[in-house]
Amino acid sequence: MVKLPQASLRLAILIVLLFAATAGLAYWLTPQMQTQQMPEDFEAMLPKKINDWAEQPNPYLQVGLVDTTDKNVDQPYDRVLMRSYRSGEGAQVMLALAYAKEQSQDVKIHRPDVCYQAQGFAINSRHVQSLNIDGQHDIQVVRLVVSQPSRLEVVSYWIRIGNEYPVTPLNMRLKILRDGLAGSVADGILVRVSSIVDDESEAAAAFARQEEFLKEMVAVLPQDQARVLARF
């Protein structure tokens, strides 16, 4: 049996410990995914009838969910749904859901403010409204009035990243940075509803209808599915 010199034995033990420490550190620093159960199929998850609202065809084409002017940006979504609903009283809303299981500084949800402008709309007004989504929890909703020469649109949306609702690009970047420093990668979703109106004086009523629709949509879903849209 060959007997190693004491110095060589200590060196061998040190090398093994360094390898073990490196492996442990690499595991510890690897971000862990923090997601809701990703919906297999939004089409199946979301009812085509939500109380008094029923899915109906819409003659208007919905504005896309990505910034079409930036050809270098990767497609950030894993699940997408676009659908229109009409109430028994004739009010119509266009719904867009876009889910991403992983949010990073390079690939993240696109804000509708940017997408509408990239597709030729002017932002007439923008403000943030607190929405009590279920009688207990408030979320931050962005309200937009946007226009083209032949179209005036009222838009309400929220972006959920993890358990927060960032309303500015800086808010989004800071949330993703905090998650990264904590060793986690959050999922995210864009929930957007919009309505075509004839005049800006109709915006307040359109926003109110949109909020009622959003509340009813969340309320009809089982809790685990509702938490994909709005995490409490």
pLDDT mean values, one per 10 residues, the chain (232 residues): 55 53 40 54 90 92 76 70 94 94 68 93 96 90 97 97 90 85 86 97 97 96 90 74
Determine the residue type at 181. Answer: L
For tokens 């929220």, name the residue: 158
User: What local confidence, expressed as pLDDT, does residue 147 receive?
Assistant: 97
**Residue 139: closest CA among 163, 114, 115, 171:** 163
Nearest to 133, CA basis, from 210, 215, 194: 215
Q: What is the pTM of this model?
A: 0.81
**So what's the pLDDT on residue 23?**
37
What is the spatial distance between Cα 203 and Cα 206, in angstroms, rounded to a whole number? 5
Instruction: Check residue 137 and give its pLDDT.
Output: 87
Check residue 43 and give its pLDDT. Answer: 86
Whole-angstrom distance, CA of residue 188 vs CA of residue 161? 4
Predicted local distance difference test score (pLDDT) of residue 120: 94
